[in-house]
Structure 1
């Protein structure tokens, strides 16, 4: 579909809030553009209904070309939720174009994680073992049922996740049955995050061999709060003071 300066807002910006939109900035005189066009069309057709392709003639829509800083063509930009999320310039080979489009489309595991029920989370992990956003909520479900060993096995497959490391450390600490830590974990489970963090940090001076595991639990909680959280910023300072 050809898009103009008049239709770009509705066909790309607004539409991309519902489905990814790939925009091919091209021109009739551009031989690489004519080479890339069919490759893009085939890659998008493989995901019919999950991603859309539109074309913008840069000669006829120079304001759009300037707005999106098109300095060479073909230039391809992918939009999600009204913003550019990925892009490339030049006539890439078919495998590279297919990877570009594939990354825009939610995978089967993405859909299962979005559902969030236990069966869906288990299926997502069968498709993509070690996926943190599936393993963490499933591990929490198992912990709530007292299935500590199975939860620990799930988390052992996850790498690069402070939250997963923290939950694994919590499982280990729960086996020690320390009343101070149990109170902290109960507060976290009741969504009283600030009190839970306070109790964990207060337990550090007398923690002896458990200091590193308590630290991992706190860091995992702070990671889930996010960098913009004032509670997280304050807790990081208190954690550092307690440790060092």
Structure 2
């Protein structure tokens, strides 16, 4: 099996072992697999470990060491035969085994060290979010991320909650972390955070548009301000009105603003119906 998900399993050598295995083990359990090309049991064990690393979605990391090309590491960990597997927690070996175990025994070994999945906590938080209790949802998501710091989904759920609560600085800090498995959603939330920067007093802009309905620049400024204040449907309607009145204004600026809104809201299923509605409306207007 190839490293289809290198975020969860990867090859390491003496040169990068500290950075990619020892240091991460201070926060997340790291399973170190010593293997070699000529070792038959290794070819059985390694794919099973890779499969579990992907299934566990970052609740542990799998660092694969070619024992033939890294004798110093093998010696340091006292490897006498391969495959040998060592579990690092807190920068220290905690336990290990030699030989290829059945998958059920591998799971039992790994489950002794990894945090329980945060899926149930995320579902509980999502249920609270549906009722509008974003504070309650955020508290549960904080717990989920503490139990499993590598769960990018829970982390981004927390960003959603922070944005709903208008806690933009905290959302920005979370979005500054690395997202390898949830890159698209992280990018979408960054776009939504950028919209929030446009939160200004809407009344003067609305008065300007009311005074001159053909002031398309003012209407687009109003659309962005509405989005910045979380009034997404009104924002989309304002941008769409520019397209209706003059689709060619400022090289299609009305359409571009709508696309920005779609990107910013596309990661949140709560806004799926709204985005679909205005995608259809934009298409109908342009066609």
Does the alignment reach a TM-score above 0.5? no
**TM-score with structure 1 setting the length:** 0.44
Which structure carries more relative contact order (alpha carbon 8 Å, separation 6+)?
1
Give the TM-score normalised by the residue count of structure 2. 0.37
